[in-house]
Structure 1
Amino acid sequence: MKKILGFLAVAAVTLLAGCGGGDNGESITAVGSSALQPLVEAAAEQYQTEHLGVFINVQGGGTGTGLSQIQQGAVEIGNSDLFAEEKPGIDAKKLVDHRVAVVGITPIANPGVGVKNLTVVQLRRLFTGEITNWKQVGGKDLPVVVVNRAQGSGTRSTFEKWVLQDRQPIAAQEQDSTGMVRSIVASTPGAVSYVAFSYVDATVRALALNGVTPTDAHVTTNEWPIWSYEHMYTRGQPTGLTKAFLSYILAPATQQRLVAKMGYIPVTAMQVERDADGNVVKRGE
């Protein structure tokens, strides 16, 4: 029995030494934007594979949750589709912004609506309830069914800022999850909503606006104006595993291997820059 216990003790020490990798079982939590969540999850999985013994917990909940949680110091990283300055109640001066990608946002519709292109005004009127049937915009005789992201969603705030332009949206069902929004639009005749480019698949139809298609190339020049930076905020300068993980996501190899391939746009690919007030200038000016 003593020999067995001795063997198990040695094995346990060896296993812990092998898994630790010098990181001593450190863990962090990143919470917030569901548009950014797939990228952070993929990066976390790869980082943990390469650095055994650490744990990176990634959760959604929306931009509002990410910013409020990081402001309170409840998590190590708050993921956001918005500048902290854009969110009421958030003290941006206490947070440090790490822009890890750009995400394009596109209106999507059930494939059966019979429409591929809208003007921005038409899209706005769909979401304000002024247009109630797809035949009013050249589509099928189907009632318009609006599906919104929940209040606090950065994707919703970005969409409303650049499409609704301070108009009041019609009361409609709201969903916390981007994946659920896509599922509802795909299965509901006449449904329309909006998602990050990375969530578009064959079950829904991405709509062009004023003849401009929702592509990365059009985002980089701001021809497609519905886009946002993907921010990973920290409370003060990051240290330890938080700093290492952010450096990993921002590394050129990760940007090439993950960011672009997952439907996001590397910040370095942008030909323009936009500030928290929506002002756009050419990069480097």
Structure 2
Amino acid sequence: MKKRIVALFVLLFSAVFVLTGCKGSQGQQTITAVGSSAAQPLVELAGEEFTQNNPNQFVNVQGGGTGTGLSQIQQGAVDIGDSDLFAEQKSGIDSSKLIDHRICAVGMVPVVNKNVSVDTLTLKQLRQIFSGEITNWKQVGGEDLPITIINRADGSGTRAAFQADVMGNAQFVRAQEQDSSGMVRQIVDNTKGSISYLAMPYLNNTVKTMKIDNVEPTIENIQNNKWKIWSYEHLYTNGEPTGMTKEFLDYIMTTHIQNNVVKKLRYVPIKEMKFQKDTKGNVTPVSQEGK
């Protein structure tokens, strides 16, 4: 009889312990944001700070590129799809049910190996390099050195933004392609005569940035549209966001994140942009009313 009582007590204690553990795990919430590598540093850092303020809420951030972000959010497979493009600009995406949350602007910057002596190119020369018309640095005032192009892979929003603002109707010449911004930077660092392009948050002293028409890629020049190669960072939701997804999107737009995290990572806060782009790439001044 005593053994039965003890066994029953152990069973009841175990049940209470298991139920208590389940309750703790049920109190945790996770949302997933997938897509643009250009947006990834900002979403990751904002997600970390969001979790510090909300210990039971976690933001799972993954890359994969704009194409992946838009296709995943369209399928409802994730909570947020990160994109460097308007959904309307991506083939195969039905934008009618997607809600656009523009969180900042970002510059795309040509980068070269540090041994390249050229400091500035015209926009036309940049286009001619990536289309294969210019193949040696001596053609643009540099030394006799073949140009090695490192392109981003098809489906990259950074590539699509660069193509829209630089290439126009010209096509990229066939070249090595990379999915990762970090890998692009590493290859340019290790390859003499190489050129590629990166979103500003990925710039560091391992590569050399290139001026375009003698304009430097700075935050101020992006704000004023003197630097022409830039895009928005979009966080898309499938329908109006609710719950934790809405809380996180609201948090990204707070003054703290916009004035600190956004600027620290070299993005441009939306409210500080003096020019705007539409889905067709048209650039117009931002109305000062209500700003």
Tell me the TM-score range normalised by the shorter chain: over 0.9
CA distance in 1, matches of 2:103, 2:233: 6
Alignment correspondent of 1:61: 64
Q: Among 87, 90, 96, which residue is 2:90 paired with?
A: 87
Shift of the alpha carbon at 1:49? 1.4
Alignment correspondent of 1:226: 229
Shift of the alpha carbon at 1:278? 1.3
SS at match of 1:52: coil
Identical aligned residues as a percent = 51
Q: Among 210, 214, 219, which residue is 1:211 paired with?
A: 214
CA distance in 2, matches of 1:36, 1:260: 13
Work out which of the two has the higher radius of gyration on C-alpha atoms and give 1 or 2. Answer: 2
Q: Among 229, 245, 249, which residue is 2:248 paired with?
A: 245
Deviations 1:195-242 (A, max 9, x none): 011111111111001111111111111111100000000000001111
CA distance in 1, matches of 2:116, 2:143: 6
Shift of the alpha carbon at 1:245? 0.5
CA distance in 2, matches of 1:55, 1:201: 29
Alignment correspondent of 2:257: 254
Alignment correspondent of 2:169: 166
Q: Among 114, 117, 122, which residue is 1:111 paired with?
A: 114
Residue 279 of structure 1 pairs with residue 278 of structure 2: no
- RMSD across aligned positions (CA): 2.1
Contact 2:164 2:281 in 1 (8 A): no
CA distance in 2, matches of 1:67, 1:93: 12
Alignment correspondent of 1:143: 146
Shift of the alpha carbon at 1:16? 8.2
CA distance in 1, matches of 2:99, 2:281: 19
Q: Which runs of 5+ in 2 are unaligned?
A: 1-5
CA distance in 1, matches of 2:131, 2:265: 32
CA distance in 1, matches of 2:284, 2:196: 29
CA distance in 2, matches of 1:71, 1:24: 28
Alignment correspondent of 2:99: 96
Runs ≥4 residues deviating over 4 A: 9-13
Shift of the alpha carbon at 1:256? 1.2
CA distance in 2, matches of 1:64, 1:143: 32
Aligned length: 280
CA distance in 2, matches of 1:202, 1:16: 48
CA distance in 2, matches of 1:11, 1:216: 53
Q: Which runs of 5+ in 1 are unaligned?
A: none
